Amino acid sequence: MLVGMRAIQAVKPGPASVLRAVDLPQPKPGPGQVLAKVAAAGVNFIDTYRRSGVYKVKFPHVPGSEGSGTVEALGPDVTDLAVGDKIAWATSASGSYAEYALVEAAQALPVPPGLDLAAAAALPLQGMTADYLVRAVFPVGPNHTAVLYAAAGGVGQLATQMILASGAHLIAVTGSAEKAERVVKLGVDPKNVIVLSTLASIDLDLPQAVRDLTGGLGAHVVYDSIGRDTFAASLSSLRRRGTLVLFGGSSGQVPPFDPQELNAHGSLYLTRPTLADYTATRQELLGRAGRVFSAATAGSLRVTTDHRFALAEAATAHQALEARRTAGKVLLVP
């Protein structure tokens, strides 16, 4: 007799409205896998890219790659985990928008005592992303000025804290005055906050604001998760030999451009990194996760999980995320 579970499924690519709550068979762990009872699933922009067809996936599709929970069953050959262990993950083999999810044992992240599972679900993708951005892609320090878009978002709030802790000069960009208040509470000097909704022209006014805050020089690095709407402004906000780290596209994907633009703006560097390439080994994965989990447990890294939705409200959660009505982490709770 098959054991069932509730899950969220999209039968075809499309807007958030294609997401439906359905009954599916509970998956069984295969070799090297564990079955986890999901405590919370992280909602991320990559989920919307997959749901909408920007990133190709097979349909019907259960979204969600991130989550946390308790190990319920072990697949063959799994020896380093036990039933009852608390784990988190950034990659789910069966989709995290469900009551149960399959997780590759090699990708399971031990949740330390003292860290609740909701916070643990908020950290694998966004916490490790913030970690690799500011510690590996462009390691910031006291001699750097960094521009960070969506500083009140899930990755943004974590990266904001890490950049400030490094001693770098942070220019935080937010979409609204309300979100600006959030980053000020994290320790950003109000004079170093740029609110996009107050700018007549992002392409012209944002780079000018950055140069006004840097003595006309521009930033050493721009961390850009918005993409199409801010790409030109990001290039113009950099100083000579600066680095543009494009790690998302919440406004849409950047269209093809002439690499000569990098030359014209001062021999700039452009990278489009992914988390997978910065957690390529088990050692690197556990190192990043362990650093982030330890900081959250100790309280030196604050995790915001104000936006929690019931599993059946997945479409509403996607709509809120895509409309940029959220700050901090968005979670689905079965």
pLDDT, one tens digit per residue, over 79-116 is 999 999 999 999 999 999 999 999 999 999 999 999 99
CATH of 4-122+305-333, one of 3.90.1150.10, 3.40.190.10, 3.90.180.10, 2.40.30.10: 3.90.180.10
pLDDT, one tens digit per residue, over 297-334 is 999 999 988 799 999 999 999 999 999 888 779 999 99
CA distance 232 to 263: 14
Q: Which two tokens stand for residue 215?
A: 């003595």
Q: Which two tokens stand for residue 264?
A: 């014209």
Average pLDDT, the chain: 96
pLDDT, one tens digit per residue, over 242-293 is 999 999 988 988 999 999 999 999 999 999 999 999 999 999 999 999 999 9
Domain ranges across the chain: 4-122+305-333, 126-275
Task: Please answer whether residues 318 and 173 qualify as being in contact, where contact means their C-beta atoms are separated by less than 8 angstroms.
Answer: no
Q: What is the pLDDT of residue 306?
A: 79
Nearest CA to 99 among 127, 62, 48?
A: 62
CA distance 39 to 120: 10
Q: Which strands form 169-174's sheet, in the order they lie side by side?
A: 193-195, 169-174, 145-148, 219-224, 238-246, 269-271
pLDDT, one tens digit per residue, over 200-230 is 999 999 999 999 999 999 999 999 999 999 9
CATH dotted code for 126-275: 3.40.50.720
Please check the confidence at residue 1 and state whether its pLDDT lies above 60.
Answer: no
Residue 166 CA: distances (Å) to CA of 43, 109, 135: 28, 25, 9
CA distance 205 to 199: 6
The single residue listed with the structure tokens 């309280």 is 299
Q: What is the pLDDT of residue 262?
A: 98
Please check the confidence at residue 142 and state whether its pLDDT lies above 80.
Answer: yes
CA distance 140 to 169: 9
Q: Is the pTM of this model over 0.85?
A: yes
Residue 174 CA: distances (Å) to CA of 98, 153, 159, 235: 32, 9, 13, 18
DSSP state of 261: H
Please check the confidence at residue 2 and state whether its pLDDT lies above 70.
Answer: no
Could you tell me how far CA 23 lies from the centroid of its own chain?
28
Q: What is the pLDDT of residue 70?
A: 98
Q: Which two tokens stand for residue 68?
A: 């946390």
